[in-house]
Amino acid sequence: MSEVPIAPAHALERARELAARPGRTLLGIAGPPGAGKSTLAARVADALGADAVVVPMDGFHLAQATLERLGRADRKGAPDTFDAAGFVALLHRLRASEETVWAPEYRRDLRHGVTGAIEVPATTPLVIVEGNYLLCDEAGFGPVRELLDETWFCEIDDDVRIERLIARHIATGKEPGFAREWVLGSDEANARLVATTRDRADRLVATD
């Protein structure tokens, strides 16, 4: 991996190359909370049209009621608050590309995933998988890296990332003081873990 991050425009050109390969390619976009993974994935998918579909890892969030029952609601977003085994099983199906696959999508308004929300036709050449823990070994995520053909890690200034996260939490209904406390506590604990996986990525991408 080069230590010099590439610009999003160069990342887009690389994605076009991946989509042009024979068969199906799974591209993973990883990075800490607020690093711009979803934005980058959407930009690539928009540019490639029918040749790409985004499948976010966040669709495998455990439901809010489940997290409360398990006593993990105060750590929502940590590795053990996802159905990692279900995510791995989906990646196996996506790699096979034998049939249309219906992937889940996380809904912030409902605070849990919605099954069957994202259609991935068997003919789609590039599947963009984005999420915090694609390069992690914790809580059942270990098999993920080997199921991805290429992985990118989003690089962004931490101050920008943190302020963006706070604004996101406020926009979804959290009181500003609580939003900042949550980001600097739970979210940053997750961000530190994700940062340790940076060197496992194939490429760094500068996001803003």
CA distances from residue 38 to 23, 138, 163 in whole angstroms, order as listed? 24, 22, 17
CA–CA gap between residue 57 and residue 32 (Å, rounded): 13
pLDDT of residue 104: 95
pLDDT of residue 136: 96
pLDDT of residue 158: 86
Query: The whole model's pTM is what?
Result: 0.91
* Vertex 94 angle, CA 59 and 86, to 5°: 40
Strands (E), the chain: 25-30, 52-56, 101-107, 112-120, 126-130, 150-155, 203-206
Tens of pLDDT, residues 26-40: 999 999 988 999 999
Give all domains of the chain, ordered by start, each with its CATH number: 8-201 (3.40.50.300)
Q: What are phi and psi of 162, to 5 degrees?
A: -65, -45
Tens of pLDDT, residues 139-167: 999 999 999 999 999 999 888 888 888 88
> Which residue ranges in the chain fall short of pLDDT 70?
1-2
